Structure 1
Amino acid sequence: MTPRSTTEQGWFDVQGTQPLLDQMDRSMMQLVPNTSDAYSCNNEQGIQDQYRNARKLGRKPRDARQVLAKRGLIGPSRNPVAVGKSIIRTGPVKVLPLSNHLLVSSSSPSSSSSSSEENDFAAGRDAAATRLSSMQSAAARLLHHRANSPPQVPLPVRMPDVLRLPEECARCILDWTNERFENRAWNASNDWGMELGPKMGLWTNQAGVAREVVLRGDTEAGFRMVQICFQQYQSIIRTEQPPEMLLKTLIVAFYMLQAGPELGASFVRYSASLFPIVLGENHPISRIWHHINALGVEAIRPYLWTILQAWWESLKQRLGTRHKELAVHRLELIRSLHRFGGLPMMSAKAGIQQMVDDMAADVKYWTLDYVMWAKLELVTIYVEAGLDTEAAELLEDIGRRIEATPDGYDIWTQTVYWYLRAQAMENLGLEDEALESYQARYDACLKAVGPDARHTVRALGELERYNRKIGRIEVADQLRTRFHKGWRIVCDRAAAVND
């Protein structure tokens, strides 16, 4: 017997064997759940025929591994004895043979006996059939497990809360305003448009005074009022829910933040836990405050304008642009946003100036008080932005108008004028003018509401602070004694309202 002269050439006959290998790979990779329960006889016989054809071509066992490794489907063999096992690749279901070894002799000599070749062929066929049956069973078990397991889909990329905040809050605001108007909780039939929350304005003012007292260094007195404001808020949102509740709550949150970071965070946490209890978890305000609490007041600062603009637009659609109380909200909104860093100076100035011009063009409807009040809001943002020269010039014009027609303006317009003039003069270093203005503000409040009223006691505290600043310590000490006496009365009255 002589070796076949074509055997060594046939080992690497790639052109003849590559299509068969590709076809075998496709057959093994097309194991999908709806066809993996069992192979039909035809499928099994077809794969066996492919193995027989590969054997007739004389392909060595190692060549299949080399081709598959070259295509990147398997790695190099680390255990040549491991024959017939499988690698399960992630992704689309694939069952790849770890080895395409065929049980053929790589060095058996040629024989002229046909029975010897038939025996070798039968042995190879039986071994290949046994190995294929084992692989098919393993593949069927795997696919059955995959078919009965939950689908493995990639988790969606979740948008950060800070990016979803404006959209979520705008949706909640629309839900809230629509519900209140449709249920007639807010009445838009008369000139003022709706029932306003009297407690809400008082509560906001008290929180602002408490902030000033804390910033002045009188922490104990200031925190007494802060505690009262916390206690009052539950009653306010339970009985009123006025349209300005969202705006006022945000204003107070920033008041507390200015008094101290931890105090601001404490108020946000408190209100975030209070809303679901009083209003319910699905209430729009509860949902808005959930986002604010999750992010923190500082993080929402860049989005304040977007959130509150949606609130104002929702009211404007119901009430119209000539609604007087809505104009009050608009001015307060612009001023507050600028104060808390949510609106640039130029935008705030342009917005308020436009309102001043519109009101002045129709003074019969808006009256002098509205026009003057809008101008004072413009002065406010000048003072808070450090534009004291511009503030002083505008205040001079306002002062001439008030002196010319004192009966045309109410007492509160006059007290706000004196307060802003005092701040502008103080910032410009004009001590006499500033002291005169602080004293005039206190005298106006004293005349209007008496010595123990909240406004008068607040003006008294401002006068005490400035006297101490310019070195009039004895006068300042006397004023402080009077202030603490009046402050106790103010806090007792506020606590009694809560009771």
Structure 2
Amino acid sequence: MTPAPAGKAWASPEDWEANKETISRLWWDDDHSLKEVQDIMSQEHDFHATDKMYKSRLKSWGLVKNLKSSDAKQIMGLAQSGVVKQPLVIRGRSMGSKKWQKRLNRVASRPETTTKVLVSTRNGAILSPPVTVASPVSALSPLSGRVEPPDTLRITEAGLMAVHDFAVHQFEETKWDLSGLTFDFDADKTDSWYNGLSLATRNLLKDRNSPTNFAMVHKSFDQYSAVLDQATPSLIPLTLGHIVGLMEVGPEMAATLLRYVARLVAIKFGESHPLSRFWAQMQTLGPVQIQQVIGAVLGAYFHVIVNHSHPANRWRTAMYPTYAKLQQKWGAISEQAAVTIFERTIREIENSIAGKRGKTTKAADHDEIIRHLYEVKIYFAIYLVERKRFPEAYQVTEEIGSWLERGGATQFPEQYEQWLLVRGSTLVGLGKLEEATPYYLETYQARRKRLGVENSRTTRAMLQLEEHYSRLGQPLAAEKMHSELEQSWIKKS
């Protein structure tokens, strides 16, 4: 090994972890060159490492600026087909060199000849993303206009067909029924699994060498078998969400989960099952390309959900806008597209209320629809907070608060607790940290009393209270809450 500078020592594993956020910010967020990062860390932080050390560590963190040639080629093929409109985004930054990004944007925005491919099923058809041929002279050519699409596009089309067939199959076999208003999220094992792996992912980002953190990941993998046995509508969105989310830990970790899911599904359902076909296609694409096509995949999936569900069904009203928000975060859809999904969801619920006027409707059903309407508005407020549109979020929470004061808080404690959290987040965004504390604390206490410490909603409240204590500069309170959070998850079966 090259000797360290005179009187200095190379960074230890502990030094890397202690300086991870600073190095990540300089390299990824501020876009400094490796030499600049080395100089800044050496001069300002007394942190010393070779080029090779930096490159190895940045790769393990999933912060490689330039894509592998195979990945870059596949993404460019998706751009030519119209499936991809922008580069892969990690930590708010586009992967690939600036020159490559410009080329991708140029290809994606080029005038194209578009042919829509119809994905046929027993219950009708949906339009898949366009298969396109970017050729300004194609109309003048005496040759046939048919051009074979790239392999990546064929894989994407097969994945769209499989996810569509799976969703239709679940409804036709009456394994899913979203025709009514209710959905029991507490009985959905996918939700609990998602929260557990989220906690494990968060811990890994803090400490990649902890046996405890990897044990939590392994436990999450073990729990996935029970998640598959239940196979609720949350299965595909939440699993895809974790594969994309694990890219921040590292592409290898995301690929490990993807490979495990694909193999386990094939074992449980058989290779010909539409769910097996879907995950086989996703495994062929790999985590990098999944982030590029996830918008199209979930678009096809929710197309089936919308056609088979009540406009005010709780799963639909909760998950559809939530995944619109996440797709925007992943760079799969635009901000306006996400807002449109929120607005459409709210409008369809309001229309379902209007459609019942003059008809005999159970008071309980009417109240349930109103509950779901305001719950979507709560999700919209959360979205506004995440977009740092705090004054707008405050106005939405005021409207929701008025409904709760009229009796909603007593009748629907869950929505009251959701409102407490988003109200707290809004106040934090407005710089009123101390004023926000009672909202986070009351949410945690109310859920612990109502649902128990091991419930997934309680663990979410604990997580947000821990983060709030950290913001306030109260490390002991934050650590105590984190320990309680870990213990609550470990106790779960």
Residue identity opposite 1:254 in structure 2: V
Which residue of 2 is the match for residue 227 of structure 1? 218
Q: Is residue 391 of structure 1 aligned with residue 393 of structure 2?
A: yes
Which residue of 1 is the match for residue 437 of structure 2? 435
Q: Is residue 487 of structure 1 aligned with residue 486 of structure 2?
A: yes
Which residue of 1 is the match for residue 253 of structure 2? 263
- The 5-angstrom pairing of residues 299-378 of structure 1 reads 299-319=289-309, 321=311, 323-363=313-353, 364=366, 366-378=368-380
- Structure with the greater alpha carbon radius of gyration: 1
Name the stretch that deviates more: 227-236 or 204-213.
204-213
Question: How far does residue 213 in structure 1 lie from its aligned partner after superposition?
Answer: 4.6
Which residue of 1 is the match for residue 198 of structure 2? 208
Which residue of 1 is the match for residue 406 of structure 2? 404
Question: How far does residue 491 in structure 1 lie from its aligned partner after superposition?
Answer: 1.2
Percent identical pairs in the alignment equals 22
Aligned residues between the structures: 335
CA distance in 2, matches of 1:334, 1:471: 33
Which residue of 2 is the match for residue 17 of structure 1? none
Greater relative CO (CA pairs within 8 A, separation 6+): 2
- The 5-angstrom pairing of residues 99-138 of structure 1 reads none
Q: 2:462 aligns with which of 441, 460, 463?
A: 460
1:60-102 C-alpha deviation (Å, 9 max, x unpaired): xxxxxxxxxxxxxxxxxxxxxxxxxxxxxxxxxxxxxxxxxxx
Residue identity opposite 2:259 in structure 1: R
Which residue of 2 is the match for residue 127 of structure 1? none
Question: How far does residue 199 in structure 1 lie from its aligned partner after superposition?
Answer: 1.5
Contact 1:186–1:194 (CA<8 Å) still a contact in 2?
no
Residue identity opposite 2:346 in structure 1: V
Contact 2:294–2:327 (CA<8 Å) still a contact in 1?
yes
Question: How far does residue 278 in structure 1 lie from its aligned partner after superposition?
Answer: 2.0
Where does the alignment leave 5 or more consecutive residues of structure 1 unmatched? 1-155
CA distance in 2, matches of 1:485, 1:196: 20
Question: How far does residue 344 in structure 1 lie from its aligned partner after superposition?
Answer: 1.1
Structure 1 residues 213 and 319 mapped into 2: Cα distance closer, same or farther (>3 Å)?
same
Q: Match of 1:380, SS?
A: helix
Q: Match of 1:405, SS?
A: helix
Question: How far does residue 301 in structure 1 lie from its aligned partner after superposition?
Answer: 2.5
- The 5-angstrom pairing of residues 274-313 of structure 1 reads 274-313=264-303
CA distance in 1, matches of 2:310, 2:221: 34
Contact 1:206–1:229 (CA<8 Å) still a contact in 2?
yes
Where does the alignment leave 5 or more consecutive residues of structure 2 unmatched? 1-145, 354-365
Structure 1 residues 326 and 430 mapped into 2: Cα distance closer, same or farther (>3 Å)?
closer
Name the stretch that deviates more: 371-380 or 307-316.
307-316
Structure 1 residues 222 and 332 mapped into 2: Cα distance closer, same or farther (>3 Å)?
farther
Contact 2:195–2:456 (CA<8 Å) still a contact in 1?
no
CA distance in 1, matches of 2:329, 2:284: 23
Q: 1:471 aligns with which of 463, 473, 482?
A: 473
Residue identity opposite 1:394 in structure 2: V
Residue identity opposite 2:444 in structure 1: Y
Q: TM-score, normalised by structure 1?
A: 0.59
Contact 1:438–1:462 (CA<8 Å) still a contact in 2?
yes
Question: How far does residue 359 in structure 1 lie from its aligned partner after superposition?
Answer: 2.0
Q: TM-score, normalised by structure 2?
A: 0.59
- The 5-angstrom pairing of residues 151-230 of structure 1 reads 159-186=149-176, 198-215=188-205, 220=210, 223-230=214-221
Question: How far does residue 174 in structure 1 lie from its aligned partner after superposition?
Answer: 3.2
Question: How far does residue 361 in structure 1 lie from its aligned partner after superposition?
Answer: 4.6
Question: How far does residue 452 in structure 1 lie from its aligned partner after superposition?
Answer: 5.4
Q: 1:240 aligns with which of 226, 230, 235?
A: 230
Contact 1:356–1:375 (CA<8 Å) still a contact in 2?
yes
Q: Match of 1:296, SS?
A: helix
Question: How far does residue 459 in structure 1 lie from its aligned partner after superposition?
Answer: 2.7
Contact 1:359–1:366 (CA<8 Å) still a contact in 2?
no
1:32-65 C-alpha deviation (Å, 9 max, x unpaired): xxxxxxxxxxxxxxxxxxxxxxxxxxxxxxxxxx
Contact 1:339–1:384 (CA<8 Å) still a contact in 2?
no
Structure 1 residues 287 and 320 mapped into 2: Cα distance closer, same or farther (>3 Å)?
same
Which residue of 2 is the match for residue 422 of structure 1? 424
Q: Match of 1:281, SS?
A: coil
Q: Match of 2:491, SS?
A: helix
CA distance in 2, matches of 1:411, 1:207: 27
- The 5-angstrom pairing of residues 3-42 of structure 1 reads none
Which residue of 2 is the match for residue 129 of structure 1? none
Q: Is residue 251 of structure 1 aligned with residue 250 of structure 2?
A: no
Question: How far does residue 422 in structure 1 lie from its aligned partner after superposition?
Answer: 2.4
Contact 2:227–2:235 (CA<8 Å) still a contact in 1?
no
Structure 1 residues 459 and 315 mapped into 2: Cα distance closer, same or farther (>3 Å)?
closer
RMSD (CA atoms): 3.3
Structure 1 residues 324 and 443 mapped into 2: Cα distance closer, same or farther (>3 Å)?
closer
CA distance in 2, matches of 1:454, 1:320: 25
Contact 2:189–2:226 (CA<8 Å) still a contact in 1?
no
Contact 1:419–1:441 (CA<8 Å) still a contact in 2?
yes
CA distance in 1, matches of 2:214, 2:311: 39
Contact 1:161–1:291 (CA<8 Å) still a contact in 2?
no
Residue identity opposite 1:230 in structure 2: F
